[in-house]
Structure 1
Amino acid sequence: MGVHFNHTQLNVFKTKGNGIRQKADFEGDFLRNISLYGNYTIRNAYLFGEYASSMDGGSALLAGSMISLHPRLSSVVLLRDYKKNFHTFYGQGFGESDNSSNEQGAYLGLTYQLGRKLLWSNYADIFRFPGAKYQADTLSTGADFFSQLSYMWYKKGQLSLRYRNRLKQVNYQGEGQTEHGLVNTSKQQFRVEFHYRLSSIWTIRSRVEANLFQKEYQENSFGYMLYQDVFWKSSAGKFQSNIRVAYFDAASYDNRIYAYEQDVLYASGFGMYNTRGWRMYFNLQYRLSRHLQVWTKYAVYYYPGRESIGTGLDQIEGNRKSEVKIQLRRQL
C-alpha cells in the first residue's frame, strides 16, 4: 500500500474552451493530485486498486483482481470509474480514453490453455461515457469484444486467429433535426497471422486482416490488408535487416487498419493503411565496430491512380510518399 502526491505548476493560466466537450476541462495554473494504491495476494488471487483525486474536485477509481481458477484457466476483472471533472497531466489509467476521465467500465478477461501448444484468449469490456466526448455530445455507451486462438511451435513460431468487435455510439443529425442524436456503430475485425523462424538467420511473418464497419442509416463498408515480412541477420551478427510488402484496400476512413512497423533504434510506430495502395519499407542495422552502430530505414506509400496525397500544407504532388531515416550511435 502506498500514497502518491503530485503538484504541477504552470507558468500561464490555462482556460477551458466554450464547447460542449470542454465544460469539464481543467482550468487554472496549478494542479494537485493525490492517490492511495495497494495490492494483496491471497492464495491464487491477486487483488489491486487505486483511488485518486485531483484536488479541484474530481476523483478516479480503479480496482481489479487476477485469479487462477484452474491450472489451465485464469481470469482478470477490472472496474473503473473516472469522474468527468477528474484531471491529471500524467495519469494513464486503463480505459478507452487517453485522459482517465469521463468514463465508467467493467472488463473481464479469460485465458484457457487448451493444450500444450494451444491457447485461447478472450475479453469483454463494457463502458459508458457520462458526459460529452469526441463524436458524442451526450451520454454514450459501448463495448469491445475480443477472442484469439493461438497455436505455438516451441521456439519456432505461432499461428493465430483473431476476432474483435467494437461497438460505439456517435453523433447523428438527420434531415430537419437541429440537434445531434446518437446512432450505433460496429467495427468487426478479423485477422490471421503466421510467424515462423525458418533458421537461425531467416524469419518470416505473414498477416491478413479485414474489417466490416456498420453504422445506422449508412451503407456497410469493408476494408482489408495483407503483408509479408522477412527478417534476416548474418551469422556473425554484424548485419540485421527486415523488409515488408503490404497491400491494402479500405473503403472509408472508418475501415483504416493499423499495423506495427519496425524502425530505427528507439523509434517505433504504427503504419496507417487507408484507401487503396501499397506500403513497403526496408530496415538495415550494421555494427561498424564494437562501439559504433548505424541504422537506416526507407519506407514508401504508393497509391495507384492518385495525383496527390494529403491536403493543405501536407499535400504532396504525385502518388508516392516516402521517408528515409539514418541513425548513428557511438557508445563510449
Structure 2
Amino acid sequence: MLKKLLIAVAVISAGTSSFAQQPDTTDSEVRDDLERALENIDPEDTDLNAEQLTRFLQNLAANPIDINTAGIDDLLQVPGLNLRLARAVLDYRNDVKPFESVDELREVPGIGRVTLDRVRPYVTIETGPGLRALYTDPRYWTSDSEVEFFSRFQRSLQEQEGYRRPDSTGFQGSPVKYYHRLQYSSNHISANLTQEKDAGEPLKGLSGFDYTSWHLALTDNGKLQQMVIGDYSLSFGQGLVLWNGGAFGKGREVIGTVAKKERGIHPYTSSMEANFFRGIAATYGGQFRVTGFYSAQRRSASVINEDTTRFPSDDGMHRTRTEIAKKGSLKQNMAGGRVRLALPFGIIGATGYHTSFNKQIYPGSAVYNAFDFRGRQTSALGVDYKLLLGSTLIFGEGARTKNSGMGLITGIETPIRNNTGLVIAYRNYQKNFQSVYGAGFGEQSGEPQNEEGIYIGLSHELSSKILVSAYFDQYRFPAPRFGTHQPTQGVDWLGLVEVQLHDDLQLYLQGRGEYEEDEYEVQGPYGRSLRKLDRSRRSSFRLHAEYRVNPRVRLRMRGEWVRSKPPGAPAEQGYLVYQDLRYQPNSRWTFDARVSVFETDSYNSRVYQFENDLLYLFSNTMLYDQGQRLYLLANYEPYEFMEIWAKFGITVFENRQVLGSGLSEIRGNTRSNLGVQVRFVF
C-alpha cells in the first residue's frame, strides 16, 4: 500500500506542472518559523509547551501588527525584530514618514532581505481610520469582532493495552481525544471557553471534560494595557522568574532567539493542562507600567501521604484510576507583580512572586533531587534589562529565590557591519536556584537550574542569496542531573548554510553535534555494579531542499544522517529520507503529503521530522528502528466562515511486532492515527 501511495504522490507532482495560481506564501513562512523552533526538540519533552508557541505564531500571522500604529512592545513580538530594529522602525515612522507598504521596511537601517522575509507574515499596513477611545460607544468594544468555534477529534487506530484491560488498572475512557473551543475577540475584548479530554480519559456530558479553561480579558484600553480574569500566562524579562507559553531556543535561528521577547500577560487558550495561572492579572501604565497578578488553582500531583506530595506534574493525563486520583490533589496559590520602565535607550523591569502549597512538597531521595524545591512555600525576585548602546543590544536578568539560590543570564547582540550579526550570552543558574515558574535560555528545557554556560552565535550574509550561520555552546552542570551522580559538562554546536538558488528553489545544509558527559554501569571484579563517566556523542548532517514547481505545487526533500555513541557503548547510525508534496489546486483546497523512510540502530540514534498538522497543533515525530511513515493532510475551505482539516498518518516498522510498552503497548508493527477538525469564524 505504501508503494502505491508513493507512486500516487509522484504522479500528482509530475502532472501539475502546468497550473498557475498565486501560492499562500504567508502560511508557508509561518510553518517555516515553527519548523525552525520545533524540529530539533524531543517530542517527549513536555516542558516546552510547543502548542502555545504554535498558537502564538499562527495567531500573530492571522492578526498581523500594523507597523504604522504599533508600539515598541507590539513590534517586539514579531519574529526577526529585536529591540534595536523595533526602535529603528519607530524612528523611521516618526522622523521620516508613515509606511506606505510592508516592503518599505527595507528603508529602515538594519533591515535587509532576510529580516524582511522573516517579519513579512506578521506585519501589515492598515488603511482605515481608527475609532476614538469612547468607552460608552458599543462600536469601540465590538470593532473587528470575531467569533471562532472549532472542534477537533483525534484517535489512534490500533488498540492499546490500556483498552484491553477491563479491570481498574486500564484506561477508563474511550480512545478518542476530543477538543473544542469557543472564543469571541475584538480589538479590546476577549472571551474564551476551551474543553478537552485526552485519549483514555472518561467523558460524562458537556460538564464532564477532564480539562476546562476560560477567560475574560480587556486589551489595549487606554493605559489599561491588559486585564484578564480566568486563565492566563505570564512571560517577563529573560524568563528566569516567570515564563509561560514556550519560546524559541537553540536551533537554526542562531542570533534572534537568545534574548527573549516578553509577552507580559496573555489570555490562555491552549489545551496544555498545566503551566498557566488561574485568577486575575492586570497591567496598567504607559512608559512606566505596573503589573499585578493572583492565582489559585488545583494541581495534579502524586500523593505520598496525607500531608505530602511530589511536585505537580505537567502531563495532564487522567486515564487510569491511579492518574484520576492525582487530579486536584494539591492546591497552589500565587501572588506577585512587575514594574517596568521604557526608556529612550532600553527597558528595565523587576518581577517577583510568592507561591504556597497546602501540602508539603517532597521531590524524592535521588542524588539529582538534592537541590530541588521542597517545602510549602517559595518566592523569587528578578531584575531584567534590555539596553541599546548605538546598534548593540545588551540584555540580561538576575534573580534570587527564597532559599538564596541565584540565577543570571547576560549577553550582547550586535551587528558587525551590515551583513554580519553576533550574539554572546553567559548564563549561570546555581544548583539551588529554585525558580519553579522560570524557563531561561539554556541546554535544559524548563526550570533554569544547575547550569552554567556560554553561547556564541554568528550569522553572515555572503551575498543576497547565501546566508551562513553557526553557534557554539559550552556548558556544565555543577551538581548531578537526572541519570548522573556527579557534575558533568558538554558542548553543543551547529553550522548552517542557506542558499537561495533562485526564487523557486532554496536549500540548506546543516551540521550539528553535541558531546556531553554521562554515566554508565559496568560490572566490578566482585560482581558489583560500578558507575563510570564517559562522553556521549551525537552528530547529524542534513541536506534539505525546497522547490516550487509552479504556484500550485511545492516539493520538499530531505536527507539526514545521524551518528550516536552512548557512553560505554559502540557507535550507532541512523538515517532519514523524505519526499514532501504540497498541492493547492485552487483557493479552497490544500493537500500535504509526505513519505519518509528511516533506519536507525536503536532509540539512541533516533531521527526527528517536523510535520504539518491540524490548525494550532504541532507534530515533531520521533522515528527509530526500521520503517516507513506516510501522512496525508487536507485543508478545505468551502465558505469564508468555515474550514475543515483532516490528517491521516501511518508508520510501519520492519523489525518490530510490538510497539510501545505498558498500557500504551500496541500488538503489531503498525501505528496509525486519524485527526479531523472543523473551524467556524464569523
TM-score interval for Structure 1 and Structure 2 normalised by the shorter chain: over 0.9
1:115 paired residue number: 463
Q: Residues 78 and 329 of structure 1: is their aligned pair in 2 closer, same or farther, counting only changes over 3 Å?
A: same
From 464, 478, 485, give the equivalent of 1:137.
485
Q: Does 2:602 match 1:255?
A: no
From 618, 621, 631, give the equivalent of 1:271.
621
In 2, Cα distance between the equivalents of 1:134 and 1:277? 31
In 2, Cα distance between the equivalents of 1:258 and 1:132? 28
From 508, 514, 524, give the equivalent of 1:166.
514
Matched letter for residue 206 of structure 1: M
Q: Is the 8 A contact 2:356 2:376 kept in 1?
A: yes
Cα distance, 1:167 vs. partner? 0.3
What does 1:229-248 align with in structure 2 at a 5 Å threshold?
229-235=580-586, 237-248=587-598
In 1, Cα distance between the equivalents of 2:654 and 2:520? 33
Q: Is the 8 A contact 2:625 2:655 kept in 1?
A: no
Alignment TM-score, normalising by the size of structure 1:
0.95
Q: Residues 166 and 305 of structure 1: is their aligned pair in 2 closer, same or farther, counting only changes over 3 Å?
A: closer
In 1, Cα distance between the equivalents of 2:488 and 2:519? 10
- Find the residue that maps to 2:604 and give its secondary structure: helix
- Find the residue that maps to 1:288 and give its secondary structure: strand
Matched letter for residue 48 of structure 1: F
- Find the residue that maps to 1:198 and give its secondary structure: strand
1:126 paired residue number: 474
Cα distance, 1:70 vs. partner? 2.1
1:89 paired residue number: 436
The structure number with the bigger radius of gyration is: 2
Q: Does 2:653 match 1:303?
A: yes
What does 1:1-332 align with in structure 2 at a 5 Å threshold?
1-98=348-445, 99-153=447-501, 155-176=503-524, 178-215=529-566, 217-235=568-586, 237-332=587-682
Alignment TM-score, normalising by the size of structure 2:
0.47
Matched letter for residue 60 of structure 1: G
In 2, Cα distance between the equivalents of 1:316 and 1:262? 25
Q: Is the 8 A contact 1:124 1:145 kept in 2?
A: yes
Unaligned runs of 5+ in 1: none
In 1, Cα distance between the equivalents of 2:669 and 2:647? 20
Q: Which has the higher strand share?
A: 1
Cα distance, 1:215 vs. partner? 4.0
Bigger mean CA deviation after superposition, 81-90 or 160-169: 81-90
Q: Residues 216 and 27 of structure 1: is their aligned pair in 2 closer, same or farther, counting only changes over 3 Å?
A: closer
- Find the residue that maps to 1:174 and give its secondary structure: strand
Cα distance, 1:318 vs. partner? 1.4
Matched letter for residue 233 of structure 1: Q
Matched letter for residue 487 of structure 2: L
In 2, Cα distance between the equivalents of 1:153 and 1:9? 57
In 2, Cα distance between the equivalents of 1:305 and 1:127? 38
| Residue-by-residue CA offset, 1:7-35 (whole Å, 9 max, x unaligned) | 33334321121111111111123332211
Aligned residues: 331
Matched letter for residue 515 of structure 2: L
Q: Is the 8 A contact 2:574 2:605 kept in 1?
A: yes
Q: Residues 47 and 55 of structure 1: is their aligned pair in 2 closer, same or farther, counting only changes over 3 Å?
A: same
In 2, Cα distance between the equivalents of 1:47 and 1:193? 34
In 2, Cα distance between the equivalents of 1:72 and 1:288? 45
Cα distance, 1:178 vs. partner? 4.5
In 1, Cα distance between the equivalents of 2:631 and 2:359? 43
Cα distance, 1:288 vs. partner? 2.6
Q: Residues 90 and 232 of structure 1: is their aligned pair in 2 closer, same or farther, counting only changes over 3 Å?
A: farther
Matched letter for residue 264 of structure 1: L
Q: Is the 8 A contact 2:566 2:604 kept in 1?
A: no
In 2, Cα distance between the equivalents of 1:140 and 1:110? 26
Matched letter for residue 668 of structure 2: G
In 1, Cα distance between the equivalents of 2:661 and 2:409? 42
In 1, Cα distance between the equivalents of 2:427 and 2:601? 35
- Find the residue that maps to 1:287 and give its secondary structure: strand
| Residue-by-residue CA offset, 1:69-119 (whole Å, 9 max, x unaligned) | 222221100100001111223311111112210000000011111111111
Bigger mean CA deviation after superposition, 50-59 or 94-103: 50-59
| Residue-by-residue CA offset, 1:36-85 (whole Å, 9 max, x unaligned) | 00111112211111011222221110001011122222110010000111
Q: Is the 8 A contact 1:136 1:169 kept in 2?
A: no
Cα distance, 1:284 vs. partner? 0.7
Matched letter for residue 120 of structure 1: V
Unaligned runs of 5+ in 2: 1-347
Q: Residues 130 and 291 of structure 1: is their aligned pair in 2 closer, same or farther, counting only changes over 3 Å?
A: same
Q: Is the 8 A contact 2:432 2:450 kept in 1?
A: yes
Q: Is the 8 A contact 2:591 2:633 kept in 1?
A: yes
RMSD over aligned Cα, in angstroms?
A: 1.5
Question: Matched residues, percent identical?
Answer: 27
Q: Is the 8 A contact 2:349 2:385 kept in 1?
A: yes
- Find the residue that maps to 1:21 and give its secondary structure: helix
In 1, Cα distance between the equivalents of 2:601 and 2:654? 15
Q: Give runs of ≥4 in structure 1 deviating > 6 Å.
A: none
